[in-house]
Amino acid sequence: MTTVQVPGSKSVTARALFLAAAADGTSRLRAALDSDDTQAFRDGLRTLGYQVTEAGDDWLVDGRPAGPPAPDADVYCRDAGTAARFLPALAAVGHGHYRFDASAQMRRRPVGPLATALRDLGAALSFADAEGHLPIGIAANGLRGGRLRLDASVSSQFLTALLMAAPLMTDGLTIEVTDLVSRPYVEMTVTMMGDFGVSVQTVGNTFTVAPQRYVARVYDVEPDASTASYFFAAAALTGRTVTVPGLGKNAMQGDVRFVEALRAMGAEVVVEENRTTVTGTGRLSGLTVNMRDISDTMPTLAAIAPYADGPVRIEDVANTRVKECDRLEACATNLRAMGIEVATGADWIEIRPGTPRPALIDCHADHRIAMAFSVAGLRADGLVLDDPDCVRKTFPGFHRVFGDLRREWDLTGQHG
Ligand SMILES: O=C(O)C1=C[C@@H](OP(=O)(O)O)[C@@H](O)[C@H](O)C1
Ligand SMILES: C=C(OP(=O)(O)O)C(=O)O
């Protein structure tokens, strides 16, 4: 059995940073993820005037309930969807002039519904370049709040941003959501707002937040469930056993449910109080699975799919086309380069069984493509990543940890 210590959750870290920044007092975040995305978030807060300091492995955040201390700031969000969607909402409840920009990759990704909502709530928001995309400017003068309708079918991050800012709005906020992807991330948001002392009333798809104050606290960040998917998949693919401590029955992240797909394919899965164990059984069966709630793990499943004994069809994942890259096309083209038969539609991908041949994997600067195809490389010789470093977005140490696993399991081949 191999125990893998997975670093902290990117999503939990980003929320904890936001909530701590908005709270009364100083919070201590323990086991926060230190990666490109969370550094972008932390540095974004610093640029907005918040004090975020490091104490050993902990991050200390001085909360400012009135909004960003800096009256004027240029925030660079790098590749991070969390920073690009959450920080403008935090800035909008304050008073000052703020500009948000990001990498070319993040500029391509949508922020339109969030921007429209912030305008409806009273923010003076302008697009510097393309409508619905970063860069944006906000002349902030507090938000009055009220009631709005929101389409979160492209990203749940729009809803999370508005919910987390809602208790800081003069009248609070009621959001009626017309459509929603990635629902477990919103449940995580509501749970974490509660952890920092703020309650959200949820009735069906309507969320109501009264004006309230966040309370500073010590907060333990749970390990990243999307990152864990690569190690669980590695076990399922190679017939080994992997245990990830810290992700058990009460884990907040929806992506822990990736192991259910592995179980449906034939792996043994044991979910205990505070850890999850996957054991490969030497065979993988095909399946049809809806991954709308856990679509960050779609590439993980797609990359091991050729080794199943029947077709693997992944459905309801249209929004994976507006992630770091178009992930449906990226998975399909890389699998085809490996000689695998693949079909895609607007929101699905179907992969046929096959024997992968050596190929250069085009990562599209997407950490999930790099990590998912590294898993496939445990059984296919000659899979080479064109951009192994892109894993820094969420797991800078991935290749080291994966290399250790490869040596421990005595597997040859190349993956980065
Ligand atoms: O709120 C979050 O932390 C996230 C929500 C999801 O995005 P979408 O809601 O855009 O699917 C997920 O893919 C992303 O990695 C992190
Ligand atoms: C989509 C992702 O990131 P984000 O939207 O937070 O940039 C991801 O990490 O897979």
Closest residue CA from atom 6 of ligand 2: 81
Domain-embedded: residue 242 = yes
For residue 28, name the pLDDT band (cuts at 50, 70, 90): very high
The tens digit of pLDDT for each residue in 347-392 reads: 999 999 999 999 999 999 999 999 999 999 999 999 999 999 999 9
Residues 311 and 169 in one domain: no
Residues 187 and 61 in one domain: yes
Domain-embedded: residue 398 = yes
Whole-model pTM: value is 0.98
- Give, for ligand 2, the residue of 35, 108, 185, 296 to mutate: max count of ligand atoms closer than 8 Å to Cβ: 296
Give yes or no for residue 368 CB within 6 A of ligand 2.
yes
Question: According to the annotation, is 157 in a ligand binding site?
Answer: yes
Closest residue CA from atom 3 of ligand 2: 81
Give yes or no for residue 227 CB within 6 A of ligand 1.
no
Instruction: Return the CATH number at 360.
Output: 3.65.10.10
CA angle 332, 335, 337 (to 5 degrees): 110
Distance in angstroms (rounded) separating the CA atoms of residues 330 and 326? 6
For residue 412, name the pLDDT band (cuts at 50, 70, 90): low
* Cβ 374 vs Cβ 416: under 8 Å: yes
Residue 296 is among the residues annotated as catalytic for this protein: yes
For residue 175, name the pLDDT band (cuts at 50, 70, 90): very high
Give yes or no for residue 229 CB within 6 A of ligand 1.
no
Give yes or no for residue 105 CB within 6 A of ligand 2.
no
State the chain's mean pLDDT as an integer: 97
Residues 317 and 398 in one domain: yes
According to the model, what pLDDT value does residue 414 have?
Answer: 45
Q: Is the pLDDT of residue 416 over 50?
A: no
Last residue of a domain, one of 211, 237, 252: 211
Residues 259 and 299 in one domain: yes
**β-bridge partners, 312:** 287, 351
Which sign, positive or negative, has the C-alpha torsion 262, 266, 267, 271?
positive
Q: Which two tokens stand for residue 144?
A: 């009055």
The domain tally of the chain equals: 2
**Residues 184-206: what's their mean pLDDT?**
98
The number of C-alpha atoms within 13 Å of 373 and in the hemisphere containing its C-beta is 36
Distance in angstroms (rounded) separating the CA atoms of residues 266 and 247? 21
Domain-embedded: residue 219 = no
Domain-embedded: residue 220 = no
209 C-alpha vs ligand 2 centroid, how far in Å? Answer: 26
Name, in order, each residue with C-beta under 8 angstroms of 154's C-beta and a sequence gap of 6 or more.
Answer: 110, 113, 181, 319, 322
Residues 286 and 404 in one domain: yes
Residues 310 and 166 in one domain: no
**β-bridge partners, 229:** none
185 C-alpha vs ligand 1 centroid, how far in Å? Answer: 7
Last residue of a domain, one of 185, 211, 237: 211
Domain-embedded: residue 391 = yes
The tens digit of pLDDT for each residue in 113-160 reads: 999 999 999 999 999 999 999 999 999 999 999 999 999 999 999 999
List the domain range (segments joined by +) for residue 65.
Answer: 2-211
Residue 76, Cα to own-chain centre: how many angstroms? 18
Give yes or no for residue 155 CB within 6 A of ligand 2.
no
Q: Coil, strand, or helix at residue 72?
A: strand
Residues 110 and 133 in one domain: yes
Domain-embedded: residue 218 = no
Question: According to the annotation, is 393 in a ligand binding site?
Answer: yes
Last residue of a domain, one of 187, 211, 235: 211
Of ligand 2's listed atoms, the one at least distance from the Cα of 84 is 7
Q: Which two tokens stand for residue 257?
A: 């449910």
Of ligand 1's listed atoms, the one at least distance from the Cα of 296 is 13
410 C-alpha vs ligand 2 centroid, how far in Å? Answer: 32
- What is the share, in percent, of the chain residues with pLDDT greater than 90? 98
According to the model, what pLDDT value does residue 199 have?
Answer: 98
**Residues 150-172: what's their mean pLDDT?**
98
Distance in angstroms (rounded) separating the CA atoms of residues 107 and 146? 29
Name the catalytic one among 36, 62, 224, 296: 296
Q: Coil, strand, or helix at residue 76?
A: strand
Q: Which two tokens stand for residue 112?
A: 């339109």
Q: Coil, strand, or helix at residue 266?
A: coil
Residues 115 and 89 in one domain: yes
Residues 312 and 197 in one domain: no
According to the model, what pLDDT value does residue 415 have?
Answer: 45
Residues 350 and 378 in one domain: yes
According to the model, what pLDDT value does residue 411 have?
Answer: 87
Question: According to the annotation, is 10 in a ligand binding site?
Answer: yes
The tens digit of pLDDT for each residue in 242-287 reads: 999 999 999 999 999 999 999 999 999 999 999 999 999 989 999 9
Domain-embedded: residue 217 = no
Residues 15 and 37 in one domain: yes
Domain-embedded: residue 255 = yes
The ligand with the least distance to the CA atom of 372 is 2
Q: Which two tokens stand for residue 412?
A: 């040859």
For residue 413, name the pLDDT band (cuts at 50, 70, 90): low
Closest residue CA from atom 1 of ligand 1: 157
According to the model, what pLDDT value does residue 282 have?
Answer: 83
Distance in angstroms (rounded) separating the CA atoms of residues 405 and 382? 18
Closest residue CA from atom 8 of ligand 2: 296
Q: Coil, strand, or helix at residue 395?
A: coil
Distance in angstroms (rounded) separating the CA atoms of residues 48 and 55? 21
The tens digit of pLDDT for each residue in 307-337 reads: 999 999 999 999 999 999 999 999 999 999 9
Residues 260 and 182 in one domain: no
The tens digit of pLDDT for each residue in 75-89 reads: 999 999 999 999 999
